[in-house]
Amino acid sequence: MEQVNNDNIYVIDLGELKTAPEVIFELSSILDKEESRNKRICLKLGKLDLNQAQLLSIKSLINGIDSNLSSIETKSEETEKTALSLGIIITNATSEIKEEISPEMPYKTAEELKEELESAAEEEGSEKQDINSEYGGITSETNSEESELETQINSYEIKEAEEEVQEVQEVQEEQETKEEQSEQEKQEEQEELTRQEEINNRNTSIQEEAITEKKENVEDELEVIFGNNSVNNNIFEIEAPKGIYEEAQEGLIDIVVPEQEYTKEDLELESLQTKYIKQTIRSGQVIKYEGNIVIIGDCHPGSEVTANGDITVWGILSGIAHAGANGNKKARVRALKMNAIQLRIADCYSRRPDALN
């Protein structure tokens, strides 16, 4: 809310508030400031409609800090009428409202009455002593009426102020209750997140144990299928008959096969671990491993297999295969049937022609 301090006038803008309790609550918080004490207060109330009891409560709050309600600026006709009836100055009051509120015999102070009596005495040629006696009687009657009215207004103001303060306290209690509920809800959400995280961790550990167990079973099956068999190992040691070898050598040119140099890349491939996957790799699945990969099954189009070492597919390779992903150019890609969309070894790649199957 806007507050303007100009010399001894303190302007408080409450035009954005919609209800009387909001005005009382905001005004009480503003009046707690030291700079609002011993000032002439000017209130801007906007279009808010206030009755006589509410205006008296506002005036009592202002008087409680040794300040004075100097004037009110409002766009509400009801508030204008009520303020004028209480003798409060309206800075933007219309002439129609003033004429409607002003009685036929308006209230006059003792000085105004004295001036009227003196002027009347001069016209009639009466003595000044009679005027003073009449003025004294009027003044005494006026003062007694003013004191009685002031007593009634003060008692009414105290009662209304107590009711407004009680309303403000109820609003503050409701706000505190809402804050406590919000803190409790936050704590429950945090506990729920912690519980969910524990469940996820437990599920992850169970999945890892299941994968480890399945891997061990696959390795056992592979050992049964491709285990060390002395008969299979000795197949390549059987020598061919000499006659067949000599006939095969006739008419052939001697070919010198250069020996391959054993490099650091070969050592790296031999040191890599091998992962066995006994399933079909479907479209959209991506398999990545830092060692060698052996897949017992097919790789459908749309699948992708990436390994730092070799890739061996015991089936049809129809997806994308990338061997030597860490830059090893001696990595290999093998398959029972090669129908890959794209093959990559290190930074070299090749794609299948669109018309070829």
Residue pLDDT, tens place only, 267-307: 888 889 999 999 999 999 999 999 999 999 999 999 999 99
Residue 28: per-residue pLDDT: 80
Q: Residue 76 burial (CB < 10 Å; 0-12/13-18/19+)?
A: middle
- As a whole number of Å, the CA-based R_g of the chain is 51
**pLDDT 10s digits, 22-74:** 878 887 888 777 777 777 888 888 887 888 888 888 888 788 777 778 788 88
C-alpha span between 80 and 72 (Å, rounded): 8
Nearest to 66 by CA among 40, 29, 28: 40
Q: Which residue has the tokens 């009480």?
A: 28
Residue 331: per-residue pLDDT: 93
Strand (E) or helix (H) holding 28: helix 20-31
Return the half-sphere exposure (C-beta side, CA atoms, 13 A cut-off) of residue 6.
8
Crossing angle for the helix pair 20-31 and 52-63, to the nearest 10 degrees: 10
C-alpha span between 59 and 57 (Å, rounded): 5
**pLDDT 10s digits, 179-191:** 888 888 888 888 9
Long-range pairs, 202-210, Cβ under 8 A, ≥24: none
pLDDT: which is higher, 130 or 303? 303
**pLDDT 10s digits, 148-172:** 666 766 677 677 777 878 888 888 8
* pLDDT at 324 > cutoff 90: yes
List the beta bridge partners of residue 294: 276, 312
* pLDDT at 224 > cutoff 70: no
For 104-121, the DSSP string reads SS----HHHHHHHHHHHH
Whether the Cβ atoms of residue 319 and residue 304 lie closer than 8 Å to each other: yes
Residue 77: per-residue pLDDT: 81
Whether the Cβ atoms of residue 293 and residue 275 lie closer than 8 Å to each other: yes
Average pLDDT, the chain: 76
C-alpha span between 75 and 64 (Å, rounded): 26
**Ramachandran class of 302: left when φ > 0, alpha when ψ lies in -120 to 50, beta otherwise:** left
Token representation of residue 254? 């001697």
- The 3-state DSSP class for residue 32 equals coil
Crossing angle for the helix pair 52-63 and 128-226, to the nearest 10 degrees: 90
> Which of 236-250, 304-318, 321-335 is the least confident region?
236-250
Whether the Cβ atoms of residue 27 and residue 61 lie closer than 8 Å to each other: yes
